Amino acid sequence: MASRCWRWRRGCSWRPAAQSPGPGSLGGAGPPGPRAAADVLAQVRKRTGLGNSFMPYINLVKHLTSAFPNVYSISRFHHTTPAVCCYSKTRSGEKYTDPFKLGWRDLKGLYEDIRKELIISTTELKEMSEYYFDGKGKAFRPIIVVLMARACNIHHNNSRDVQASQRSIALIAEMIHTASLVHDDVIDDATSRRGKHTVNKIWGEKKAVLAGDLILSAASMALARIGNTTVITILTQVIEDLVRGEFLQLGSKENENERFAHYLEKTFKKTASLIANSCKAVCTFCLFSS
């Protein structure tokens, strides 16, 4: 079987392993001469039992290789296709960039801008609402949103700038996510998050629910100010999915197949929907600017 092993090499070539062939193998790695080719054909006929019925295929291969000598090179276990290559080289010296560093320049002042959206006169309620917007979160969702916005803008009009409305979607996504965390901690009776006590642990469950509602309402007001009904429809779907996902988490299914489908639906609605629809929203701005 050693002679049947393949190795990938640059230039889109599949080559056999450089091991010596075992007993009864079809030959080594080098291209066969006329006598070796005849021996291989005899072995193939003997093993497959095809006899002369194998000849039409051999004739077809000979015809193709003679018609296109510069495109195809066919031997026993060596096939190269220079015309179509599935291996693309990266540019010399090119390095992968940290996506957080790549996207963070569009999110400077993220949490300060979110706190400006939380216009609250009551001191305690303001403190509760701003509790998780202390800059210690990963800002994973806003990063994805601004990177998607940049990708769409470059593709659409070769612009590397993120529009103000697209950046607003990043803020709104983080606010919706944080509101869901406050509510989740109440449901799960959690006592710590991000290395500190939860809102419900410090201020109690009732006030925590109100704080989550306030963050969600501030996000909804910021969304309304964008003024794009399509974008508003996309992101309000997220809020519905969050509620439905939480209800799905409270229940389960007895059947194993149904239980896994239940889990996937719950996970999408609670987590993936916000990411997917936020990315969809920033792409929508490119469509309206066409």
**pLDDT, tens only, 38-60:** 665 566 555 545 555 545 545 54
E strand or H helix at 6: strand 6-9
Q: How far apart are CA 177 and CA 270, in angstroms?
A: 10
Q: Give the C-alpha separation, 2 to 23, whole Å.
A: 10
156 alpha carbon, distance to own chain's centre: 21
pLDDT tens digits along 127-183: 999 999 988 878 899 999 999 999 998 888 887 788 899 999 999 999 999 999 999
Q: Are the beta carbons of 282 and 166 closer than 8 angstroms?
A: yes
The pLDDT value given to residue 251: 84
Give percent of the chain above pLDDT 70. Answer: 66
Domains and CATH numbers, the chain: 2-80 (no CATH), 99-288 (1.10.600.10)
**Which position has the higher pLDDT, 123 or 76?**
123
pTM value surpassing 0.85: no
Quick: pLDDT tens for 199-247. Answer: 999 999 999 999 999 999 999 999 999 999 999 999 999 999 999 999 9
Instruction: Please report which residue ranges of 98-139 form alpha helices under DSSP H.
Output: 99-104, 110-117, 123-129
CA distance 76 to 190: 64
pLDDT of the residue at 73: 42
Q: So what's the pLDDT on residue 165?
A: 92
